Structure 1
């Protein structure tokens, strides 16, 4: 029995020795009495501890949010309003520079001038390359060989480029046509000088133009029609002062391509024969023509001759009786317009 008790005692000691130690806090909890009404708040110690660290975390977060990075210099920063204002100023400066550049590249209109009358060369066009027609195109309108100088108060023909094919200078104050005005213009086909003050034309002013086909000199004061090249197809000299001597003898004979001849209101007293067979229209109204000969339009030696092209002959407004000389126009496809009584 003694041996048994000793063995049991040793076993108890071993169990006690093997059990974990007990602390004071745990002992206090072990001694807790539900009936002593003592309110122990576990958060009083541990809760204050967690509360403190929660406050530290929130404060640290707010501090991290407000404090700028160490790499950014706050002195170099700008507010949103300042940045926006800076962008607006920069945009305005860019627009101003762009406007200045556009103005620099924009060509200013050239204002050609005329030397005033009494200065020695009245009406001379000023500008670079005047002999090449550049100055003329500053004043007139130039379109692919055509030069339009209408109603510009010109008192002389302006310089023209060699490539000019059509020239219009209507309703101006040009008084004279000289030989040099159209010199070396080998491509010039049409000249229109309607309603100027032309009273004198040099005899060789137009004759040296190999391509000239149409010449319009209406409403001037021309007393002498100059020599014209054989290339003519239209001649209009109505409302001038040619009279009985203003047209040279056989002036239109060597013009195989002449189609239209207009000489209305010129005080002419005769029909300017011979006329080329190509002629289609002849206007001589309001002149002083009194007679028509048998060979004016027809061939008295060839009764079968017919002038088919000449369909338009105007003789109204002349003191001539067409019924007296029917043989003169019997070869025409139509009777001329004029008095028959």
Structure 2
């Protein structure tokens, strides 16, 4: 009992001597002053060492968690995983020749005979294909949506009937400066949208049948001669505006000419004569051919002054010799 009484007195004495904390009233108007009071209140310099001790306790989880240990893998499996990681991290070069990626093959066009995409060999921009100066000896396979095709300054010798097959959107073909000497009869006839055909600077001896949709034809500097153009070859081409046949050793003007023709270039040929009804209508003296404004006959052995009545219906006289 005596020991308990002494312990109670000690506890009471300690409680009486402990400092009493001041009550802090947080008022928004005196917020700065209260911060100073807090500094004075929590002054750890005056706290006894025993009261300032802090115990650090490590809390263990209530239940133990067991993590499964991965099963050992064989060397073959590890090698396969490493190979897969290397394949995923290595960039792949898409050349359009892989059958695993048909979308890229379509974007690069059909394959040539050498199993090489046309649009890698040539340059494809939207619906236009440029194959200029690539030393080609044949027309490459073209994408189905090709509208404009240029293959100038190559070594193409022949145009086959299947070179432009199924190209229903094709509007312009330019094969300037090749070695073309032969064209299949059906090479252009079945092209429903073809408007412009340029075959200048080749070795063509015979023009095939051409579609009536053409508005522009340039076959200058070839070898058509007397029989290279079929009779009435341009008769049904109602939309033909420009016809260039210079340097072909022609001995006549290919008639009849379309009514809407604007330019006819026949210079440097072998044309000897002209008829009164070549451009005009002899039976109708009031007939005027307003569209045909540009006729070139210079460089021919014809004397234009001998047939003045042949030009009465034209807005301008042809260019050529009057002597």
So what's the TM-score if we normalise by structure 1?
Answer: 0.64
Do 1:189 and 1:212's aligned partners in 2 also have CA atoms closer than 8 Å? yes
How many Å apart are 1:110 and its aligned residue? 6.9
Q: Name the structure 2 match of 1:33.
A: none
Q: Which runs of 4+ in 1 moved over 4 A?
A: 100-103, 108-111
Q: How does 1:1-341 map to 2 (within 5 A)?
A: 104-105=90-91, 107=93, 124-127=113-116, 135-341=117-323
Deviations 1:244-275 (A, max 9, x none): 00000000000010000000000000000100
Deviations 1:101-139 (A, max 9, x none): 99723635679xxxxxxxxxxx83413xxxxxxx11121
CA distance in 1, matches of 2:299, 2:259: 25
CA distance in 1, matches of 2:89, 2:319: 65
Q: Name the structure 2 match of 1:50.
A: none
Change (3 A) 1:124 1:304: same
Unmatched segments (≥5 aa) in structure 1: 1-70, 72-99, 112-122, 128-134
CA distance in 2, matches of 1:267, 1:102: 65
- Secondary structure of 2:162's match? helix
Tell me which structure has the larger Cα radius of gyration.
1
Do 1:125 and 1:136's aligned partners in 2 also have CA atoms closer than 8 Å? no
Deviations 1:147-185 (A, max 9, x none): 100011110000011111011110000000010101111
How many Å apart are 1:203 and its aligned residue? 1.1
Do 1:180 and 1:205's aligned partners in 2 also have CA atoms closer than 8 Å? yes
CA distance in 1, matches of 2:165, 2:313: 41
- Secondary structure of 2:169's match? coil
So what's the TM-score if we normalise by structure 2?
Answer: 0.67
Q: Name the structure 1 match of 2:18.
A: none
**Aligned alpha-carbon RMSD (Å):** 2.2
CA distance in 2, matches of 1:314, 1:331: 16
